[in-house]
């Protein structure tokens, strides 16, 4: 269990994303007008401005685009984690997500740019919504 911050809901743009996390789905949007991929969740397409978006479930597989290792964080939400990796992950469906990498012993040595990862949903002591993180695939 972890103690990461929880979303403040109801919130129109992100409710479906967090409901998906509770259901074990990583959700993103596509535009019905231009077929663009939209992430983070919002009410309009970032390519053409259309409000006709469809929510989809990602397969949760992606590649580490880049990362950084936080060696110490005094925030109560992160203090117990020790050193941890924060990464941009490129999902196979075409969106990039800022997230945490878990399931590695030493994040300074075991996280690599280009490594394949898969999503998992980390339960939180701080509330009902699990937070999507990634581990080596």
DSSP bridge partners of 27: 57
Q: Is residue 36 at the binding interface for Zn ion, with CB under 5 A as the rule?
A: yes
Q: Which of 9, 48, 79, 98 binds Zn ion (CB under 5 A)?
A: 48
| Binding residues for Zn ion restricted to 118-137, rule: CB under 5 A | none
* Residue 50 vs 118, nearer CB to Zn ion: 50
Question: What is the distance between the alpha carbons of residues 99 and 120, in angstroms, rounded to a whole number?
Answer: 11
Interface residue with Zn ion, options 34, 57, 83, 113 (CB under 5 A): 34
Please report whether residue 47 would count as binding Zn ion according to CB under 5 A. yes
Minimum Å distance from CB 65 to Zn ion?
23
117-137 exposure pattern, b = at least 16 Cβ within 10 A, e = fewer: bebbbeebeeeebbbbbbeee
CB neighbours (10 Å) of residue 28?
A: 24
């Amino acid at each position: 269990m972890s103690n990461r911050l929880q979303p403040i809901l109801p919130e129109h743009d992100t409710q479906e994303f967090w409901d998906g996390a509770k259901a074990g789905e990583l959700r993103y949007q596509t535009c019905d007008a231009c077929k663009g991929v939209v992430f983070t969740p919002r009410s309009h397409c970032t390519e053409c401005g259309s409000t006709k978006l469809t929510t989809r479930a990602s397969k949760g597989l992606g590649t580490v685009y880049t990362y950084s290792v936080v060696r110490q964080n005094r925030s109560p939400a992160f203090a117990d984690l020790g050193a941890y990796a924060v990464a941009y992950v490129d999902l196979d469906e075409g969106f990039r997500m800022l997230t945490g990498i878990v399931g590695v012993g030493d994040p300074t040595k075991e996280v690599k740019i280009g490594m394949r990862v898969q999503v998992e949903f980390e339960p939180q002591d701080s509330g009902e919504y699990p937070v999507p993180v990634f581990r080596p695939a």
